[in-house]
A and B are shown apart, each in its own frame.
Chain A
């Protein structure tokens, strides 16, 4: 077990290193850097000024030197400076994390609390009209783009209340805080809820076919006890995996939803930084996302072993 964990941690580092190289190179093959964009906006360009600015930002060095400079800083906790705001990248990124984390947490909460019960209901009533309807609902949840769902919610809010929810960093009341976070979280979480429901359903169906379930029925256990006590306990494992992986992959939904609702979180910040060619922000944010994904995957595997004593990691 210990050897397995060590091996996994080493592989995690290899993956993160690979990501850092790929992102760094990708960003530098983009035609036009921040200097070009700034000067294009200014109109007349003095080549000497341009060269000065490029030197100041370190863009005149070779790509290898630039990479080493970035990674060296990263290991010391120095993420460099944003090209756009000229503030330390860390100060730009850190305050935005709690906003996105709250949204992601709420979205996951929704997806588990809606997805798991509906998945169980669907599986227990397999083949009935109810099951059919629930399956169609879950498939449509996987088909709706979350930014469109967000726009529809905004439209409904305009029609019902005559106004749109506007993000406020310091909500005055608990109700306002709920409105600010829950509504976008619902837009993001709908897709995850649909996914969780699908996995719960197929996992439950798999378990319900097993011998020990028949034994439980034969000894006279109630339908309720069989479904929730015996079956769900074992069916929940794949669901945990999906929720864990989804926790990291929610970022995709958050990017578009934060854009729709104008929420100043890290996900929308990534898009803005990409548009501005703000390399220090983009590369650090991508590393942050990769770190979250890799850690989430690792945690899921460990949880799996903790929940299911049959699983032993040996290597």
Chain B
């Protein structure tokens, strides 16, 4: 396994310039689906950041006189059983969804990277212990482990982030370990050793940066999984508590009973979840093709 020089690869692919914006537009043209994914993600980030500007009505304002009204000029995605504006709740829901998605992915990845790096670089008993932990965490499906964790920690935003982060650890640890094992044998690590660098410094300064590409690809995929899991947890009533506007929670309030009477309560939150996850999936695929060409499919 050799380290990949992305700029050389880009020139070989026909890029005129490998600097800044030019490089980006070149890649964007060649990865249309990825660009669409990026646009979707940017939209969600903007919605989350500007939620208070975009919506005139607060997502928490209860207006029982207008409960369950169908989409109209004033509430153009209708209102829920408390008369809260669905559009405002969906836009504000982007905050929850992104906070949980990014928070748990970041937390899960940093723990996973630490375990994977220690496991692959130090080997020996550290590796043995780390691998058993990874095995144990991997023996339960994502949602099952997250459910039990969420129930144990109690419903709140930080707890939901932790509950989803833990099951994300094993995959990251595995990928980083495999990469570290391969990198450890390369000449530059040997060179670093021969000039007397400490093991810790080699692991952090030389091995870690070279595992970044697969990590970014994996983290994007996990972002989608985390958003889906948050929606499922909240749907089951074990995720984000009231009154936060979580997309999954909105579906659980409206589940089954409103399927007949208020379809807008079912359709819009689901579209929001699917679109956000679709965006991360598109972006993740493009990033994999760009950063990790060996896995291209």
Contact = CB atoms under 8 A, between A and B. Distances in A.
Interface of A: 11, 14-16, 18-19, 22-23, 26-27, 29-31, 135-136, 139-140, 142-145, 147-148, 151-152, 154-155, 158, 164, 198, 201-203, 205-206, 248-249, 251-252, 255-256, 259-260, 262, 270-271, 274-275, 282, 286, 289-290, 293-294
Contacts of B133: 18
Nearest to A201: B297
Given A252-B144, A259-B236, A274-B151, A15 B139 contact: yes
A260 B266 CA distance: 12
A260 B255 contact: yes
B263 interface: yes
B28 interface: no
B235 A147 contact: yes
A23 B273 CA distance: 30
Interface of B: 33, 132-133, 135-136, 139-144, 147-149, 151-152, 154, 224, 228, 231-232, 235-238, 248, 251, 255-256, 259-260, 263, 266, 269-270, 273-275, 277-278, 281-282, 285, 297
27 contacts: A19-B136, A23-B148, A26-B148, A26-B149, A136-B33, A139-B282, A139-B285, A140-B278, A142-B281, A143-B275, A143-B278, A145-B273, A145-B274, A148-B251, A148-B269, A151-B255, A152-B270, A155-B263, A164-B259, A205-B297, A249-B141, A260-B255, A274-B148, A282-B148, A286-B144, A286-B148, A290-B140
- Consensus secondary structure, chain B interface: helix
A145 B232 contact: yes
Contacts of A289: 140-141, 144
Contact of B266 (A140, A155, A198): A155
A19 B140 contact: yes
A251 B141 contact: yes
Contact of A27 (B135, B140, B148, B297): B148
B142 A252 contact: yes
Nearest to A146: B232
B148 to A, nearest CB: 6
B142 A151 contact: no
Closest 5 CB pairs of A and B: A202-B297, A252-B143, A148-B270, A18-B136, A143-B278
Contact of B274 (A136, A144, A251): A144
A101 to B, nearest CB: 16
A270 B270 contact: no
A27 B297 CA distance: 42
Nearest to B270: A148
Q: Kindly name the residue among B141, B154, B285 whose own CB sees the greatest number of chain A CB atoms within 10 A.
A: B141
